[in-house]
Each structure stands twice: as structure tokens, then as C-alpha cells.
Chain A
Amino acid sequence: MRAQAEPQARDPILLMKGITKVYPNGLVANSDVTFEVRKGEIHALVGENGAGKTTLMKVLFGLEKPDEGNIFIKGEEVRITSPNDAIRFGVGMVHQHFMLAPSLTVAENIVLGAEPGKGIWFDRKQAERMCRELGEKYGLPIDPAARIRDVPVGIRQRVEILKALMRGSDILVLDEPTAVLTPQETEELFEALKSLKKMGHTIIFISHKLREVKELSDRVTVMRSGKVVGTSDTSQVTVEEISRMMVGRDVVLRALRPKAADGPSEVRLLVKNVDVVRDGTHVLKDVSLQVRTGEILGVAGVEGNGQVELVEVITGLSSCDKGEIWICGQDATGKSPGEIRDMGLSHIPQDRMVLGVASRASISENLISTRYNKQPVSNGFSLDIKAISKLGQELISRFDIKASSAQQPVGTLSGGNIQKVVIAREFSTGPQVIIANQPTRGIDIGATESAHKYLVEATEIGTAVLLVSADLTEVMSLSNRLIVMYEGQVVAYFDEAQGLDEEEIGLYMLGLKRQEPDEVIASMMGRPVE
């Protein structure tokens, strides 16, 4: 930090003073945090995941009760014990995961809880007019009559923002708003936020994408392991300086991309003409792909375009309605997750708390979940407790998991360390194929760095990697080859991921551009198989 920003004449609209929050498992999420926001600024709150940004905002929004500290809004001390209080004090929040009713219309969602009308009657026309006017006023145009489930993620986010504005929020908190957006949608969001600022709204913008912070914010506060490291004018600091404050050391996130193999190589994973139908609609349609030994095939796409279903079908968590899946030359179609793992597949799941770990079980119990009936952990009947604890210790040190012992429950670790437990388990069984679905979502830069390193290392010993990520920079910098998914189909294939243009990929992600299906298949599968 070059210099602490000079206090200006403007009063802080929000002051959170000495906030301490300890979670029941002993995790100190915020430790004596003081956070100040001025009226009419865009204030970026940055930090690695687990640094305590989200917790601080949950305290502000009344979702978490702080153990210590006070909150002042417009100079007056307030007690916020529920989101209703927060809304009353003019604080609005747009969560990472949208909280909308998918079957209701845009207008219905926006006015929910403050419906116009008489008595028990709901005035739909009035509601739609209000919403349209609101959208126009703030430069966030929407179609009030559309149903939420039919509109893209970018619009849903707009609805969330309008919903907060409708309730009279003048302090707007956005928790990692760009994580799910395409580059184009991000641009539009930024324009809207800037115009909101002009109208006098105050915006708190949580992110760990520093380029965006630099572009958008007036001031930036950096948090690290539950504490505030510093606050300064964004123009006064470089991206490198901010990232050093976040991590506590210099970080260089380089593109590590494995070396492309020369000539033909063995196909480890083959997906052929796979269809998945859910509730009468195709969530996967005629999807084909192949991943060869020693390479990373990236899957780009806005979330919810079939990536989850693709991973589920390959890993055996659900079955496909048509098509075939082959792993290392063995037919894996319709096999159980256990049988597929026995063919040499590892899987880093998108949602580690749901699929990746049993959070109340110990680290070592989580580490053996894919080999609990194999040597040396078990003789097929009874477990070898000594071998388990040895394996636990070995993997904890090899994968640098920060824990007090292998007996510690996984749920008490930080997000990055939980992901390391998953990675340690999945990489240490000598997999032939790794399916990595959003392997670095929500983890800190340090853990991201090592996750990338392990993926590339695995390819060096011949493992085939399918990398699914909504983080375009990640897929583009790690993959050898790249496909783009849109509405359950592979709409583009690039034989060489290096040097591609992000904007162009964005067009494919939005479905504005697509390659001919035959062309996609021919260029991907056309190369000689085996």
C-alpha cells in the first residue's frame, strides 16, 4: 500500500467497526475488522476465498450475528439482526447464488414482498409498469413478463439488482457478480453499475478478479485471513500490489499448459453422440468428444449449458439416454461410479461440500473414500488403521493441507484446504483420466496455483484431463484443446487453445455464433483414433 487514502470531506455512509465473527467450528472468519465506505463510491472488497469478505457482508446484511463490533449507517449506530433490518437501513444484497423463484415472472420476483394492488388482489399491470420504469431509470432494461427460468444468467442478476433497488437500497452489495457472466455480460453490468453510482448509489463490489476491480472501483479494501490488510484509492495501486496484499507474497499465475503431444496418441476418454433428456428437454444433445493421453481438453461455456450433465454422465452419477462412453478402451456406458473409478477415472466435483467430502468425517476418512476396500488401506474386509493414518499423514504433507492432524473433521478446514483434500484423494490413486469440474471455484490464489500445477503434472505422466470451468481465463490458459458448450451442445471446437480471442469465445458461449455440428465432429474426431 503506497499511502493510506486521505480522508475526504465526504462522510462515510457505512462504517463497520471492530467486527469479530467466529463460526461454531472455531473458524475465525472476521477478526477485529473495520471497514468504511463513502457515499457514492464503488468500493471493491477483495481477498482470497476464506479471507472473510462474504462473512463481513453477511454480518452487514443480518445473515450472521457478529460476536463483537458495531455497525454505523449514515453516522448512526444500527443493530441489524435480519435481512429485513438491513433492507430498512437501505442495504441491498445481490448474492452469489441468486435467490429468485424460477417459475415466477421477472416482475413478480422484483415486487415480491411489496406487491402493488388492493387488499388480496395483485395488480400485475401496475407491477410490470413499475418494473419496466425502474429498469429504464437505472439503465437495466428487462422484460417484466418473462419467466425467470427462461432468461439468461445476466438478466437474472439484473433482476436481483432491481429487486434491491425497488426496496430503496442506496448501499448495494454485489458478491462476486461476474463469476457467472460472459465477458459481454460483464461489460453491460459494469456500465449499469457506473450509472448507478452517478445517481448517487453506493456500491460494494466483492471480487477476486483484480482486473475488474481496477477497472470499476474507486477504492479498494483488501482482506486476508479474516483481517483487513489495508484500504486505498484504486488508482494509487497496481494489480500486482493488490495481489501481493491478498496473498502476502508475490504471485505469478502463469499459463502452464502441458506440451502438446506430437502425432497420434491414445484416446483415454471417448464420448460418442450422447443425449440426455430431462423433463422432456435435451440437456445434452449429440455430444461427442475425446481426450487423449497427456493433454487437457477444456470445456468452456456459461454455467448451466450441460456441463454438469456431461460430467455426471461420464462419471456414472447419472445415465445417458443415447450414446456411448469409453474409458481407456472399456465401455463405461451405464456403469456405476464405482465401476467407472475402477477403470481409472478420478473426478474433482464442482460442489465439493455436496459431492467431494463428508464434512463431519475426518481428513483421513475422506482421503480413503475411493480406496477403502483396496490394498494397503484394507485387505478387502477389515481396515488397516495404521496404513490409513500413514496415508493421511503422507497426503497431508505431500499436498500441503493445512490441518492440525489427520483426525480433524474436514468441515473445519478452509475452502482451499478442503479442495486440497479432494485433490489429494483424486490425484493419488494414479488415475488414467481426470474429470476436473470447476477445480478452482471459490478457492484462494495459492490453492488455485497448486491445483493447476497438479493438473499439469498429471498430464506429464500421461493422464488425460477434461477440464470444465466457467472461468474462461482458466480454461484458455490450461487447455491444449478447447470446446464450447451452449444449450447442451458442443458449438465450437478449437484444435489449439493457445492464442484464442476471449471475445470470440464469448460469442460462442452466448450462442451468437456456432460452428457447423458436422465440422465440429470432423475436426475433433477426425484425427486417427489410436
Chain B
Amino acid sequence: MRRNVGFELLRTGVAIAAALVIGFIVTSLVSESPVEAFGYFLKGPFTSIRRFGSFLEAAVPLTFTGLAVSLVFSAGQFNMGAEGQFFIGAVSATAAGILLDLPPVMHTIVCLAAGMIAGAIGGLIPGILKARWNASELVASLMLNYVFLKLGMYLITYHLRDPSAGALVSLPLKETSWLPQFTRNTKLHAGIFVMFLVVFLCYYFLYRTSRGYEARMTGQNISFARYSGVPVLTVMLLIQVLGGAVAGLGGAVEMLGIYRRFQWQTSPGYGFDGVIVAILARNNPLLVPVAAVFLAYLRIGADVMAMYADVSAEMVSIIQAVIILLVTAEAFLAGYRHRLTLKEVKQRASAS
């Protein structure tokens, strides 16, 4: 087993390296001074406290959506709905933050709960459609993203909008609902503790509870799970709800920690990035924050590069795409792995 873990790490490492090389080649094609540009890209996140902070901040929502997707993927289900769940979670937290009057900590908790519940409903719908009518959860969750985006924008525009502001933004959230920020220079906020708690809870759920075991076995071999007596339909439903709750909570945390008003005009894209994070982390909750930090690093690096060099930030999409392709391609490095296996087997044979 150890060999497997080592191999997977190596595989991911080689995939990243290959992606960076390809990224550099593309950069050289479009840039006057590719080495400099790529330097900005790699060093960017470390060039100032603010950038370093924004790179860690960006990892928080990615971790939440990464966890949401990982949970659902672990049960062998698809989840393309984290995007909408995250968005509607943020909208619900905004509503609770504006409309309710509560003492400080209490208010924050209620707002987070509102986000969670909204996200959970976002997971419940594709879950029910799947469990009851065997409708593809991939399609249902993907389509629901639009529903939640439009619903959220409707609520903000017609019920929560600040008419005195110049742009389409909501009324300010009450200060009692905020997640405190640590420093002036960065927006790093207390939501990071919530994040670590959720990372741990997801891990505990999947690997230390009976329900989590049911989910993983359903993901590994659904016929086997059914044969063993696992209520697979309930499991599918539950896991979609949990995934939705985590994504919704992520939206709420992002809103209360970073923003003081709701100001997104469109969905921020964390949900789809969550899929990338989950794939990189192999659906393991403990690896999700690591993958999220890595993805955030690429993003911030690309922003810095776009700012200082003649290469646009979209270059990072190429790097991401190559990594995902190589990591998910079963056959990538399979030959190398087979030679390793062969060598090991021979050693064992000659030793005995």
C-alpha cells in the first residue's frame, strides 16, 4: 500500500512538472520575456504580505467546494452543483446578515447555518431526483446552478439591494454577523478555523462513521453495497445533502469573512474549481486543503504575472487542464509503475 501512496504522489508531482513545462512553452510563444513573466508567475504569491494573504484567503472557498465535491465523489456520485450551492449559501448568509438582529457570535452562527441549509437544499434536489426517479445527478446539479444563480440575483436585486449605492450591491451586512479578520494587510479571517473544523469532520465522517462507510462502499461498488444491505438510495441522497451543506457553508464563510456587502454579479466559479481540487486530492478530505492551496497559488501567481508581464492570467487554465488530464489518465506512468512492480516481484522471488 505504501508503494501506492508514494506512486500517486510521484504521479501528481510529475503531472505538475509537465504542466509547468508546457505552461512555460506557451508563455515563451506569447511573451517578449518569458523567463521574467514565468518568474512573476512562480514567485508572485510570495512577493508581498498582501499577496501571500490573498493566496491563503483564496484557498478557503476552494477547500469548502473541494470538500463538497470530494464527499459526493466518494460515494460514486457526481456533483457539479457546488457552484450554485456555494452561491445560494452566500446569498442566504447575506440575507440573514442584513435582516436579523442578533448578538455578535450568535449572529455569525445563524448566518453560517442559513448558508448551510440553503446549500443542503441545493443538494437535496438532485439527490431526490436521483433516488426517486434515477435522474442523472450530473445533469440535475449542473442545471440547478443556473436556477440558484438567478434566484440569488433576484433576491439581491429586488429584496436586499442598497438603493443608495451606485452599483448593484446589497445593503451592508450587520457588523455582528462578520467573521473577524486578523490583520489589516490581509483579509485572512476566522473562517479558516471553520474550514479546518469542516475538513476534520468530513474526514471523520467518511472514515470513522458507519454512514461514511456506507457512502464509500457505495462509491467503490454499488452492487456490492446493495448486496451487503446498504440502503444505497438513502446514501446517495444523504451524501448530496451533506455535499450541498458544505458548499453552502463555504459560500457563507466567504461572504462573512471577506465581504461587507454582497457584490457578485455572477457566480465566482469556486464550485467548478472544487471539482479540480477534489480530483487533485483524490477525494481525501485531509488532502483537500493542500490541493486548494496549490490551486490558489496558481491563480494568484497568474494574476501577478498578468499585472507585471505581457501574459494574461488565462495561461493558468492551460496548466490546470494539463494537470487534470495527466492525473486522471489511468495509463499515465502505468508503464513505469509496472516495471517497478516487476522489479519488486523479482526481488521477492530471488530473496525467497
Residues of A whose CB lies within 8 Å of any CB of B are 22, 24-26, 28, 31, 67, 315, 317, 336-342, 347, 349, 354-361, 365, 368-370, 372-373, 378, 380-383, 385, 407-409
**Are A337 and B209 in contact, with the CB atoms below 8 A?**
no
A407 to chain B: which residues have CB within 8 Å? 1
Binds A, one of B140-148, B189-197, B226-234: B226-234
Given the contacts A22-B338, A365-B213, A385 and B208 also touching, CB distance less than 8 Å = yes
**Are A336 and B231 in contact, with the CB atoms below 8 A?**
yes
Binds A, one of B35-43, B244-252, B340-348: B340-348
Check: B116 CB closer than 8 A to any chain A CB: no
B337 to chain A: which residues have CB within 8 Å? 24
Cross-interface CB contact of A22 among B220, B225, B229, B345, cutoff 8 Å: B345
**Are A338 and B231 in contact, with the CB atoms below 8 A?**
yes
**Are A22 and B210 in contact, with the CB atoms below 8 A?**
no
Check: B167 CB closer than 8 A to any chain A CB: no
Cross-interface CB contact of A383 among B210, B217, B231, cutoff 8 Å: B210
**Cα distance A355–B220 in the bound complex, in angstroms:** 11
Identify whether the interface residues of B are mostly helix, strand, loop, or mixed.
helix
A-B contact pairs, 27 of them (CB 8 A): A22-B338, A22-B341, A22-B345, A24-B338, A28-B345, A67-B338, A337-B229, A340-B229, A341-B228, A349-B227, A354-B221, A358-B217, A359-B221, A360-B220, A361-B216, A361-B217, A365-B216, A368-B213, A369-B225, A369-B228, A369-B229, A369-B230, A372-B210, A372-B214, A383-B210, A407-B1, A409-B1
Q: Mark B27-61, 1 if CB is under 8 A from A, else 0.
A: 00000000000000000000000000000000000
Cross-interface CB contact of A361 among B204, B220, B223, B349, cutoff 8 Å: B220
B338 to chain A: which residues have CB within 8 Å? 22, 24, 67
Check: B224 CB closer than 8 A to any chain A CB: yes
Q: Taking CB as reference atom, which chain B residue is nearest A339?
A: B229
Q: Mark B151-174, 1 if CB is under 8 A from A, else 0.
A: 000000000000000000000000
**Cα distance A338–B338 in the bound complex, in angstroms:** 40
B349 to chain A: which residues have CB within 8 Å? 28, 31
CB distance from B222 to the nearest CB of A (A): 9
**Are B229 and A370 in contact, with the CB atoms below 8 A?**
yes
CB distance from B201 to the nearest CB of A (A): 12
Chain A CB within 10 Å, residue with most, of B211, B221, B225 = B221
Residues of B whose CB lies within 8 Å of any CB of A are 1, 204, 208-211, 213-214, 216-217, 220-221, 223-231, 334, 337-338, 341-342, 344-345, 349
Cross-interface CB contact of A369 among B211, B217, B231, cutoff 8 Å: B217
**Cα distance A25–B342 in the bound complex, in angstroms:** 10
**Cα distance A339–B229 in the bound complex, in angstroms:** 7
B1 to chain A: which residues have CB within 8 Å? 407-409
Cross-interface CB contact of B224 among A22, A357, A368, cutoff 8 Å: A357
Given the contacts A358-B221, A383-B213, A26 and B231 also touching, CB distance less than 8 Å = no
Q: Which 7 pairs of residues, A with B, have the shortest CB-CB distance?
A: A338-B229, A358-B220, A369-B228, A373-B210, A358-B221, A355-B227, A341-B229
CB distance from A158 to the nearest CB of B (A): 32
CB distance from A395 to the nearest CB of B (A): 15
Given the contacts A24-B334, A67-B342, A382-B208, A356 and B213 also touching, CB distance less than 8 Å = no
**Cα distance A40–B1 in the bound complex, in angstroms:** 47
Cross-interface CB contact of A354 among B204, B213, B223, cutoff 8 Å: B223
Cross-interface CB contact of B209 among A357, A381, A409, cutoff 8 Å: A381
**Are B208 and A356 in contact, with the CB atoms below 8 A?**
no
**Are A357 and B210 in contact, with the CB atoms below 8 A?**
no
CB distance from A324 to the nearest CB of B (A): 21
**Cα distance A251–B349 in the bound complex, in angstroms:** 27
**Are B345 and A356 in contact, with the CB atoms below 8 A?**
no
Q: Taking CB as reference atom, which chain A residue is nearest B207?
A: A383
A373 to chain B: which residues have CB within 8 Å? 210
**Are B334 and A382 in contact, with the CB atoms below 8 A?**
no
Cross-interface CB contact of A317 among B214, B226, B344, B345, cutoff 8 Å: B226
A22 to chain B: which residues have CB within 8 Å? 338, 341-342, 345
**Cα distance A373–B344 in the bound complex, in angstroms:** 39
CB distance from B328 to the nearest CB of A (A): 16
CB distance from A133 to the nearest CB of B (A): 44
**Are A355 and B223 in contact, with the CB atoms below 8 A?**
yes
Chain B CB within 10 Å, residue with most, of A317, A347, A358, A373 = A358
A28 to chain B: which residues have CB within 8 Å? 345, 349
Q: Taking CB as reference atom, which chain A residue is nearest B339?
A: A67
Chain A CB within 10 Å, residue with most, of B217, B225, B228, B337 = B228
**Are A383 and B208 in contact, with the CB atoms below 8 A?**
yes
CB distance from A384 to the nearest CB of B (A): 9
Given the contacts A22-B338, A383-B209, A408-B1, A338 and B230 also touching, CB distance less than 8 Å = yes
